Amino acid sequence: MNAKSYWCLIGACIAFTMLFPRAYAEDTSRFVVLDGDTVELDGQVIDLAGIDAPEFGQECRRGDVVVDCGMIARTQLLDLTAAAEVVCDLEGVAQRAGWPMVTVCRAGGYDLSEGMLHTGWALASLGAKIPERYRSVADSAQQARRGLWGFTFVEPWEWRRGRRLQAASDH
């Protein structure tokens, strides 16, 4: 392919995406991972029951390395749901106006809250009535130092209240 043909092809691709942006960019799936503990299923925003994951931009540190643990948590949830049918138990779930539903979702039959706890990229929620197995899985992840437990971090609920990670030199 010569240079002129190459640039014509590039121009045609750009024109196509500008003329038909939805045909190119539309997500036809009914399931979207929003962050490490929130998903959207058929347009309904859902918080995964019993867990709390870091927010986007929430920093964690290992030594001198600082990472966005919120982004890593979202990536972990994407991994748990990849190529699997996701089903959320919406029956009997009460919803408060302006708030996401809170329920159990499963990918290929696997409880996503339990999976996020197992990987260590979510913590057991505070004050929530959650299954004892969740606490057991979370404790196991902490002991094995998986996910967040391998870092210095601020709990997600404290981060939302404004508490931030101290600089490495502050220790």
Dump pLDDT digits (tens) for 4-23: 543 443 444 444 333 433 33
So what CATH class is 28-170?
Answer: mainly beta
Greatest Cα pair distance in the chain: 65
Q: Which residues of the chain have pLDDT under 70?
A: 1-29, 92, 94, 96, 128, 168-171
- Of 125, 37, 46, 104, the closest CA to residue 73 belongs to 37
Nearest-angstrom CA–CA distance, 154 and 140: 19
Confidence (pLDDT) at 4? 52
Confidence (pLDDT) at 130? 79
Q: Residue 64: exposed, middle, or buried by beta-carbon count in 10 A (0-12, 13-18, 19+)?
A: exposed
- Of 62, 76, 75, 52, the closest CA to residue 160 belongs to 52
Contact 126, 69 (CB under 8 A): no
Torsion angle in degrees (nearest 10) through CA of 78, 108, 40, 155: -50
User: What ranges do the domains of the chain cover?
Assistant: 28-170
Q: What is the reported pTM?
A: 0.78
Nearest-angstrom CA–CA distance, 10 and 5: 9
Asked whether the CA dihedral 38, 49, 55, 112 is positive or negative, the reply is negative
